[in-house]
Amino acid sequence: MGFEKEQVLQVLRSAQRVAEQAEVFLLSSRSTQIQFEANELKQVQGKERSSIALRIFRAGRIGFATASGGGGLEALIDMAVETSRFGGPASFQFPSHHDYSEVSVFDSEVPEIAMETMVEAGKELIAKITSHTSGILCDVEVTKGTSSVSIMNSQGGEGTYDKSFFSLSLEGILVQDTDMLFVGDSESSCRPLGSVDGLAARVIGQLEMAKGRAALSAGVLPVIFTPLGVASVLLSPMVLALNGKTVFEGASPLMGKLGQQVFDKGLSLWDDATVEYGVRSCPFDDEGVPGQRLRLIANGVVTEFFYDLRTAALTGTRSTGSGRRASGGIPVPGVSSLILSEGDVSFESMVQDMKEGLIVEHVIGA
């Protein structure tokens, strides 16, 4: 059983009696997941959950509490009041009313996808990979679901939206003598994916590139990163350096470099919360601040860090609509859909021009 809107309103009204400001965040979701292990159907699992989070400002400090499953509302306010005794300073204001722009994140076809259709998609994907490479063992997950987000606060801020999601992922392992080859990729959208062909083609491409065994010469060699390689090796540390919290704590190598040319002029990076049917897109973030297309790096120049409300206040700037909650917890700065500018040379051309070198698809370990 989930939380009703009237219950949420009652929590907000009650919290306002004991706090200077209050905010209620409600998240509910329902999903179905099909899992294949070692090429065989393993399980079909359905999940349903709901949670409510209360954040208050009391005596100049932040209090926070959560409850799940539709119960525990009576103690929620008491817990928030108690934690405010030890909370950080309330150095920001909750946002007031906004007219949010429409962002397409829900497709009514997703919840109607039959379980049998999902099972067949998993079987078809495995069949395409195993017919190309015998002996490979594939783990596949096919997931569909819907979620609902609502937020309201004592300053008049209020918003709600529904989201659908569908994802397909494959991880394969091929053992040959003492060698182990790992391949894999995934796709996700707020809309039905329709076909497994694109994902299968990318994994088969990985298998083709790894067909031959090569001895690498010693010395300095060129390296080409695939899109997955860029995400694995470069984007994660770059995003951490652009995080306003990291900057405030003095741990970012980009601290003090706003407006400076740090990267090659060919590099531009955006964080876009408005991408249509993107699984991380939203009309507003988890604090009620409107989502936006944020240019973090422009032609190699660091142009913006991303902030939630609290971190923005601590650094004397504004929130960029980047407040993100993990399972309805306390908001922290986070990203939506990262978009990297295109280069001038195709991947195929780079490979053809490289006589000897490395192609990095993914890295493991420290």
| pTM of the predicted structure, to 2 decimals | 0.91
Output the DSSP codes for 1-44: ----HHHHHHHHHHHHHHSSEEEEEEEEEEEEEEEEETTEEEEE
The H or E element containing residue 206 is helix 197-209
What does the pLDDT average to over 125-133?
98
Q: What's the rounded Cα separation, in Å, for the pair 332 and 249?
A: 13
CA distances to 73, 148, 291, 294 from 3, rounded to whole Å, are: 9, 11, 25, 33
Which residues share a beta bridge with 114? none
Could you tell me what percentage of the chain is helix, strand and coil, using 3-state DSSP and rounding each to the nearest 5?
25, 35, 40
Q: What's the rounded Cα separation, in Å, for the pair 134 and 153?
A: 57
Q: Is the pLDDT of residue 305 over 80?
A: yes
Q: Which domains does the chain have, with CATH numbers?
A: 5-209 (3.30.2290.10), 223-360 (no CATH)
144 closest CA partner among 213, 47, 230, 58: 47
Q: Is the pLDDT of residue 8 over 90?
A: no
Q: What is the pLDDT of residues 268-283, one digit of tens each?
A: 999 999 999 999 999 9
pLDDT, residue 213, reads: 81
What does the pLDDT average to over 331-351?
93
Give the confidence band of 70 by pLDDT, cuts at 50, 70, 90. low
- Looking up tokens 């300053």 gives 155
Q: What is the pLDDT of residues 196-241, one digit of tens each?
A: 999 999 999 999 988 888 888 889 999 999 888 898 888 999 999 9
pLDDT, residue 366, reads: 52
pLDDT, residue 2, reads: 61
48 closest CA partner among 24, 74, 27: 27
pLDDT, residue 1, reads: 46
What does the pLDDT average to over 155-167?
97
Which residues of 98-256 form beta strands (DSSP E)? Answer: 137-153, 158-176, 179-189, 223-225
Backbone angles phi, psi at 297, to 5 degrees: -135, 130
Q: What's the rounded Cα separation, in Å, for the pair 186 and 123?
A: 15
Q: What is the pLDDT of residues 18-54, one digit of tens each?
A: 999 999 999 999 999 999 999 999 999 999 999 999 9
Within 10 A of 336 (CB to CB), how many other CB atoms are there?
25
